[in-house]
Amino acid sequence: MPAGTRTILTLFAAAALLAARARQLGVPFDGTPGPMNAITDVAGLEVGHTTLISGDGHQAVRTGVTAVWPRGKQSSTPVFGGWFSLNGNGEMTGTTWLEESGLLDGPVLITNTHSVGVVRDSYIKWRLAWSRKAGLNIEDEWSLPVVAETWDGFLNDINGFHVQDRDVFAAVEAAKGGPVAEGNVGGGTGMVCYGFKGGIGTSSRKAGPYTVGVLVQCNCGRRAQLRIAGVPVGQEITGNEPYALNFRHSGEDYGSIIIVVATDAPLLPHQMKRLARRASLGLARTGSSSGNGSGDIFIAFSTANPDAGRTSGLATLSMLPNDEMNKLFEATAQATEEAIVNAMVGAETMTGFEGHTVIALPHDRLQELLKKYNRLAP
Amino acid sequence: MPAGTRTILTLFAAAALLAARARQLGVPFDGTPGPMNAITDVAGLEVGHTTLISGDGHQAVRTGVTAVWPRGKQSSTPVFGGWFSLNGNGEMTGTTWLEESGLLDGPVLITNTHSVGVVRDSYIKWRLAWSRKAGLNIEDEWSLPVVAETWDGFLNDINGFHVQDRDVFAAVEAAKGGPVAEGNVGGGTGMVCYGFKGGIGTSSRKAGPYTVGVLVQCNCGRRAQLRIAGVPVGQEITGNEPYALNFRHSGEDYGSIIIVVATDAPLLPHQMKRLARRASLGLARTGSSSGNGSGDIFIAFSTANPDAGRTSGLATLSMLPNDEMNKLFEATAQATEEAIVNAMVGAETMTGFEGHTVIALPHDRLQELLKKYNRLAP
Amino acid sequence: MPAGTRTILTLFAAAALLAARARQLGVPFDGTPGPMNAITDVAGLEVGHTTLISGDGHQAVRTGVTAVWPRGKQSSTPVFGGWFSLNGNGEMTGTTWLEESGLLDGPVLITNTHSVGVVRDSYIKWRLAWSRKAGLNIEDEWSLPVVAETWDGFLNDINGFHVQDRDVFAAVEAAKGGPVAEGNVGGGTGMVCYGFKGGIGTSSRKAGPYTVGVLVQCNCGRRAQLRIAGVPVGQEITGNEPYALNFRHSGEDYGSIIIVVATDAPLLPHQMKRLARRASLGLARTGSSSGNGSGDIFIAFSTANPDAGRTSGLATLSMLPNDEMNKLFEATAQATEEAIVNAMVGAETMTGFEGHTVIALPHDRLQELLKKYNRLAP
Amino acid sequence: MPAGTRTILTLFAAAALLAARARQLGVPFDGTPGPMNAITDVAGLEVGHTTLISGDGHQAVRTGVTAVWPRGKQSSTPVFGGWFSLNGNGEMTGTTWLEESGLLDGPVLITNTHSVGVVRDSYIKWRLAWSRKAGLNIEDEWSLPVVAETWDGFLNDINGFHVQDRDVFAAVEAAKGGPVAEGNVGGGTGMVCYGFKGGIGTSSRKAGPYTVGVLVQCNCGRRAQLRIAGVPVGQEITGNEPYALNFRHSGEDYGSIIIVVATDAPLLPHQMKRLARRASLGLARTGSSSGNGSGDIFIAFSTANPDAGRTSGLATLSMLPNDEMNKLFEATAQATEEAIVNAMVGAETMTGFEGHTVIALPHDRLQELLKKYNRLAP
């Protein structure tokens, strides 16, 4: 693809760019969000997007890369983490070492299914350059990056392999704190969720002195399944479902959802797995039954314990007891539910590959339905 | 405990004994249930309960045993199975071999936390007697029964260890097809669910040519979490929560839920694990965030493939492809959700250990709330 | 069984009772053992055995209970732990909560296959009595004890269910530090290993400033598989194999092995799982291929981090980095290998159920073979 | 890297190219190998290597790609598979879907650590071209290939990212049956094993009517650990250990081993996991304790059941009962042990990156040691 026909929108997540959010429309949610109601409410965490939108028809590029840096892009200090696969029709590289070591080193990267490889190797290149710049000996280094994906081939020319090294570098370096752009951005650019336009969504919860933040790349579910705040929205808003008849899985729950759960609570790796599993509960409340075609893979990490990644001597750690985790469990389920709805509320109607169109969740209809079921928040 | 002060109610599940069910009250559920809307809609499956209710105060016995026989109690043919622990603060014996072999041999037994051992060994005694009667050589036999539990110490003198051999034998032999008693019966006798009286509940779904049936022993959640058909019932009906202040975990989500998923669809062991995980989704829709104190352990099996347990030669098997499992996933989530509500609707207010009382979910209030939120089924 | 015909040998592990050990016979092993070359080299750890030997023929009782207390029987402070099932044809209760919580609370108990239930419930009774004595409120307590087993039905009347409450109490209370009796003791009383008499064995290794101790209840393998220090002992010493032709699995690798790995190195739960997996490597070096009938289930725990089981506030912990674990991995493999050989060297020829006899590994033949293969240690 | 300075050696595995093998040197192994003593003894299975050797010093390329096609490169029929991570310091993509679905679709690809991404995406390109050629609709296709790695940065300029699309295509298309080249070939080109030159090795066993074949990419262990047929070879042959002092992990067990286990026995996915775990036992017998830095990741599949990957209707399957798996377990452990020794025996001394040299296992010394320990096969 010649550079001239290509638009890279690296979104420096700014409040000005942010669209409406579910809560502003009157969707009622349980729990108390952090100041930005975003994963970046976890202090130090940074998010960067590279959004690739260009061309039409067979040349439609609607994809990107999202990078979530647990401790920010300046840090090479690992975090404790864990993961869970609710339905593993997807890829998340790096999980074997995450499971073994309990450590996540570097960002969580999210892209489309057929660009996982390039994102993985590109990140290694970026990391090597970073290490060289830092004067580190890289000769006996190796990297096992975490790269996840959902499939965007309905809107994006996924088999054109449009993500390149520079797009990965851009997402990684664009990462910053503050509000996070949602909807058709980053890895979520071309995604479809419950038959509406999906993408990136985020939310957070206060849990005692701690914060739980969630970011989703939401591409799952079929229309009829969608429930918002208990209201059967997907059964009420019919028509305009994507996936034409030439798609084998038309009308099926395929797609996928990647869920990233972050917290500043001092949890150990086995406790992070507990948190990752709770993302399932938030997803379930939006209606998914985690279809066979869905890669529903969740990762959770804690930014506490700066000593987690120590490589010699003894690390000194803090641990929140299991008995104190209930608030975090609820926070994770709640923030996941809201992040998914935020992804749909934040996304806009998109036309892409071969002229396929996916409509956005209509805000006015959503509000009517909340009213009909006596669930519109004041 | 002298036999004279003890009442064994072995409920031969009969329609006459069955209380109201959620659907009859107008709770709307997705999907189409089988004829009995019970796990016994899976052909050949049998359920037996031993219900122990006697005494008061410190001597209050409110417990029991429930047996779920995949192919009925006359059969020694194993079924393919799998399991999943959403939150493992509980016991389910036999899972290590289930995971390894893919086979479940014998019934799933459910009781209270402190009687798992006696139920396990008692079942082995029963099985040995059965084998001897059948003329089998038992000298090189061993058994690894599946026995699960939830904790009933708020209503039951759990530290009195009241379950005995005869109670296990009775549940195992009482097993039969047909309607299944719900609420305060069997292993569910003394259970508490979302701050209301819980216990045994069941439901089923048609999934194409197949049936999925679910039975729960429901003892989980705290009041404020409860959602029924999306309606925030637990936030509306306040007061009368159990667990007095002398309980450490007062107001916490502890308790537990055991979920048994049965199907006649021909699925392999790794596919049964997929089904078991979907029970989480049904549970989530009733509001639980699977608290730290909760043993949320699920087992799933398929009664297809009579050749599954062959021990020599080659077994001939059928398999439903992964691509055809979506209906079963939805069925599992739906039947789990309904089984939990059925457990609460079927249960009655109970006073037990030390005079503790747990109130039943008030049917009239539930109906009012469904109406308020425009969710009362016609 | 009338008390008069029953002999309870609660072995207070004393040096005087200890038989020869593999190392004394000149078997070469890698690594440096602790002072007692026993799991009790891990400071504070206590082991207790109840050995039940009585009767003959159909009434032959050859079984028992072994208790391994991580911090000694006076302590109710949990330890971090993890487990691994190399081949799950066996039972280890309590593992679901161990996996979830990362904590082991109470002893690891080992017995025969058909007595797991009674040992489990009996331990709960013992624990309740202990808590009452300590003035604790037990009303909202529950216990999920870890009880493992191997099958001793060739030498023991396993279907006579001879283990009783008092035997469990005795093992639990007999626990002490110091040398550990090996061979035909405790849960290992009636076990068979590589076609020789098996049972309890133990060993330890120094790993830098830390100690790794291993205790096995060894009941696995068939004769031809046995390798000791790389020497094909099982192929050289033929004849006198147990398991008569009326046993279905004659000549197969069935039986089982339970391996308990203890360390004082400060490891987190996910790291304990890493250690548990290394027990496989030590087992493999003795020749087993972990047969289908074998319950090869391993548990590992760390006695460091007294704060591991804190239930409120924040625990302060130490962690040895993953990068520093190699010595512990080698120590685990080495101590496991030696513990298995110690179990066989320490066991004596036994005649039991229906007159079945299992011969001990002949020490002189072992030494001849080590010499033949130039492996006899000086 | 300009094409002119680059040598691609795509080895069409031919008997003429094959070096000596362990068995020919008199190393005694248990069990009976298939006709070629190679993974290709499993009928239909094909192996292809691309070997990249060029340049010196900082430009030394010593790497490649190995492709193992379960049913040969002409087939798009999935096989049942499973995997196991003994120590997950490595990457094997595609395992999340393998675990979920029980299916392996396409080849197992093995390369160096920093080329996993390019190999993954390149294979997808190859597969799309293949599908287009076959007239298939690829618009709703996605691929989740299995790509594994071990680290070759001591001999190879791993941070030069030398593997390219064409190298992947070449390995995939070079695949054929017959003898398999061993040692410094394919993904194994630059590997180091127990301080000697490692690489690709293979072996097979007859197991009743079935065959088990193993292929390893062997890069693990430190010298002192090495045992061959029980003989402490690594303690006898000292000196010339690789990994200079500027390597952080000098003298440690790092590296990694990927083990591929293939069989024609009709096993289900959960049974394939059982086989994968047994690879650990063969590895253990060569001395490894699976060090922290080692990515010891194993995959197993069965070429039986051509109907395994059916996507609609019912698949008809055969299953070998668990009770009949013991021979397969032994075969897996034995063939793994021999494949590792074959990798070292087949490899030749290599000088590569920055002039680092790794010596081959000296055949004469090995034979002397086998003699010394009375283990030289006649």
pLDDT tens per residue across span A192-215: 999 999 999 999 999 999 999 999
Cα separation, A262 vs A302, whole angstroms: 6
CB-based contact, A100 to chain C, within 8 Å? yes
pLDDT of residue A13: 38
Residue in C60, C79, C135, C85 with CA at minimum distance from that of residue C258:
C85
Best residue in C290, C327, C372 for a mutation probing chain D (most D CBs within 10 Å): C290
pLDDT of D244 > 70? The answer is no
Using a CB-CB cut-off of 8 Å, the residues of chain C touching B119 are 117
- Average pLDDT over all residues of chain C: 93
Using a CB-CB cut-off of 8 Å, the residues of chain A touching D93 are 91, 93, 116
pLDDT of residue C20: 85
Paired tokens of B364: 């009239």
Q: CA of D303 to nearest chain B CA: how many angstroms apart?
A: 16
Which residue ranges of chain B lie beneath pLDDT 70?
1-18, 243-254
Using a CB-CB cut-off of 8 Å, the residues of chain D touching A91 are 93-94, 96-97, 144
Q: Which of A100, A102, A311 is nearest residue C268 as measured by Cβ atoms?
A: A102
Contact across the interface for D88 and A99, Cβ inside 8 Å: yes
pLDDT of residue B241: 81
Using a CB-CB cut-off of 8 Å, the residues of chain B touching C125 are 161
Q: Is B54 a catalytic residue?
A: no
Using a CB-CB cut-off of 8 Å, the residues of chain D touching B270 are 99-102, 268-270
Please say whether the beta carbons of D341 and D353 come within 8 A. no
CB-based contact, B230 to chain A, within 8 Å? yes
Cα separation, C75 vs C78, whole angstroms: 8
Using a CB-CB cut-off of 8 Å, the residues of chain A touching C271 are 102
Using a CB-CB cut-off of 8 Å, the residues of chain D touching B103 are 322
- Average pLDDT over all residues of chain D: 93
Within 13 A of B225's CA, how many CA atoms are on the CB side?
30
Query: What residues does C86 pair with on adjacent strands?
Result: none
Paired tokens of A58: 């067979």
pLDDT of D182 > 90? The answer is yes
Cα separation, C365 vs C361, whole angstroms: 8
pLDDT of residue D139: 78
Active-site option among B143, B256, B290, B302: B256
**What is the interface pTM, i.e. ipTM, of the complex?**
0.94
Please identify which residue in the block is written with the tokens 């997007």: A49
Active-site option among A256, A288, A290, A302: A256
Rg (CA), chain A: 19
Residue A148: pLDDT band with limits 50, 70, 90: very high
Using a CB-CB cut-off of 8 Å, the residues of chain A touching B276 are none
Q: CA of C30 to nearest chain B CA: how many angstroms apart?
A: 32
pLDDT of D203 > 60? The answer is yes
Neighbouring C-beta atoms of residue A141, cutoff 10 Å: 18
> Of A295-309, B6-20, C197-211, D189-203, which range is least confident?
B6-20
Q: Which residue has the higher pLDDT, D3 or B101?
A: B101
pLDDT of A250 > 70? The answer is no
pLDDT of C9 > 80? The answer is no
Contact across the interface for B316 and D318, Cβ inside 8 Å: yes
Q: Which of A87, A274, A284 is nearest residue B284 as measured by Cβ atoms?
A: A284
Look at strands A210-218 and C146-150 and give their pairing.
unpaired
CB-based contact, D271 to chain C, within 8 Å? no
Neighbouring C-beta atoms of residue A2, cutoff 10 Å: 5
Please identify which residue in the block is written with the tokens 């025996």: D345
Give the strand order in the sheet containing D108-112: D8-9, D46-54, D61-69, D108-112, D146-150
Please say whether the beta carbons of D282 and D261 come within 8 A. no
Query: Phi and psi dihedrals of D67, rounded to 5?
Result: -120, 130
3-state SS of chain C is: CCHHHCCEECCCCCHHHCCCCHHHHCCCCCCCCCCCCCHHHCCCCEEEEEEEEECCECCCEEEEEEEEECCCCCCCCCEEEEEEEEEECCCECCHHHHHHHCEECCCEEEEEHHHHHHHHHHHHHHHHHHHHHCCCCCCCCCCCCEEEEECCCCCCCHHHCCCCHHHHHHHHHHCECCCCCCECCHHHCCCEECCEECEEEEEEEEECCEEEEEEEEECCCCHHHCCECCECHHHHCCCCCCCCCCCCCCCCCEEEEEEEEEECCCCCHHHHHHHHHHHHHHHHHCCCCCCCEEEEEEEEEECCCCCCCCCCCCEEEEECCHHHCHHHHHHHHHHHHHHHHHHHHHCCCEECECCCEECCCCHHHHHHHHHHCCCCCC
Please say whether the beta carbons of B272 and B82 come within 8 A. yes
Residue in A182, A145, A193, A186 with CA at minimum distance from that of residue A163:
A186
pLDDT of residue C245: 41
Cα separation, A299 vs A226, whole angstroms: 23
> Of B23-37, B58-72, C6-20, D356-370, which range is least confident?
C6-20
pLDDT of D18 > 80? The answer is no
Active-site option among D122, D167, D296, D302: D296
Cα separation, A175 vs A13, whole angstroms: 9
Active-site option among D256, D280, D290, D302: D256
CB-based contact, C274 to chain A, within 8 Å? yes
CA–CA distance from C378 to each of C23, C26, C230, C318 (Å)?
Answer: 10, 7, 17, 41
pLDDT of residue B140: 77
Indicate if the alpha-carbon torsion angle B166, B168, B172, B177 is positive or negative: positive
Using a CB-CB cut-off of 8 Å, the residues of chain A touching C323 are 311-312
CB-based contact, A270 to chain C, within 8 Å? yes
CB-based contact, D371 to chain A, within 8 Å? no
Q: Which of C232, C252, C322 is nearest residue D326 as measured by Cβ atoms?
A: C252
Question: Where do the DSSP E strands lie in chain D?
Answer: 8-9, 46-54, 61-69, 79-88, 103-104, 108-112, 146-150, 192-193, 196-197, 199-207, 210-218, 254-263, 293-302, 315-319, 350-351, 357-358
Paired tokens of D228: 């061959």
pLDDT tens per residue across span C113-135: 999 999 999 999 999 999 999 89
> Of A58-72, A123-137, A313-327, B112-126, which range is least confident?
A123-137
pLDDT of C87 > 80? The answer is yes
Contact across the interface for A140 and D249, Cβ inside 8 Å: yes
CA–CA distance from A45 to each of A41, A107, A178, A309 (Å)?
Answer: 8, 10, 9, 17
Cα separation, D161 vs D167, whole angstroms: 12
B58: left (phi over 0), alpha (psi -120 to 50) or beta: alpha
Q: CA of A365 to nearest chain D CA: how many angstroms apart?
A: 30
CB-based contact, C203 to chain D, within 8 Å? no
pLDDT of residue C243: 64
Best residue in A270, A278, A316, A329 for a mutation probing chain C (most C CBs within 10 Å): A270
Chain A: list its partners (3+ Cβ pairs within 8 Å): B, C, D
pLDDT of residue D10: 42
Residue in B360, B353, B355 with CA at minimum distance from that of residue B162:
B353
pLDDT of residue A249: 56
Please say whether the beta carbons of C141 and B131 come within 8 A. no
CB-based contact, D235 to chain B, within 8 Å? no
Cα separation, C276 vs D92, whole angstroms: 22
Please say whether the beta carbons of D211 and D264 come within 8 A. yes
Q: CA of B311 to nearest chain C CA: how many angstroms apart?
A: 11
Q: Which amino acid is residue D116, in one-letter code?
A: V
pLDDT of residue D247: 54
Q: What dihedral do alpha carbons A329, A333, A334, A335 form, nearest 10°? A: 100
Cα separation, B357 vs B199, whole angstroms: 14
CA–CA distance from A231 to each of A98, A334, A366, B281 (Å)?
Answer: 37, 16, 9, 16
**DSSP three-state, residue B49:** strand
Contact across the interface for A232 and B231, Cβ inside 8 Å: no
Please say whether the beta carbons of C349 and C205 come within 8 A. no
> In chain D, pLDDT over 70 holds for what percent of residues?
92
pLDDT of residue A136: 86
pLDDT of residue D287: 97
Q: Which of D284, D323, D372 is nearest residue C284 as measured by Cβ atoms?
A: D284
Using a CB-CB cut-off of 8 Å, the residues of chain D touching C275 are none
Chain B: list its partners (3+ Cβ pairs within 8 Å): A, C, D
Contact across the interface for B319 and D324, Cβ inside 8 Å: no
Q: CA of D376 to nearest chain B CA: how many angstroms apart?
A: 38
Residue-range domains of chain D with CATH: 14-366 (3.60.70.12)
Contact across the interface for A103 and C321, Cβ inside 8 Å: no
pLDDT of residue A248: 54
Q: CA of B284 to nearest chain A CA: how many angstroms apart?
A: 5
Q: Which of D99, D308, D319 is nearest residue B314 as measured by Cβ atoms?
A: D319
Using a CB-CB cut-off of 8 Å, the residues of chain A touching D119 are 117
CB-based contact, D245 to chain B, within 8 Å? no
Best residue in A140, A147, A252, A294 for a mutation probing chain D (most D CBs within 10 Å): A140
Q: Which chain D residue has the Cα nearest residue C280?
A: D281
Q: At what angle do helices D326-346 and D269-285 cross, to 10 degrees?
A: 50
Cβ neighbourhood burial of B125 (10 Å; 0-12, 13-18, 19+): middle
- Count of B-C CB contacts under 8 Å: 136
Q: CA of B321 to nearest chain D CA: how many angstroms apart?
A: 5
CB-based contact, D291 to chain C, within 8 Å? yes
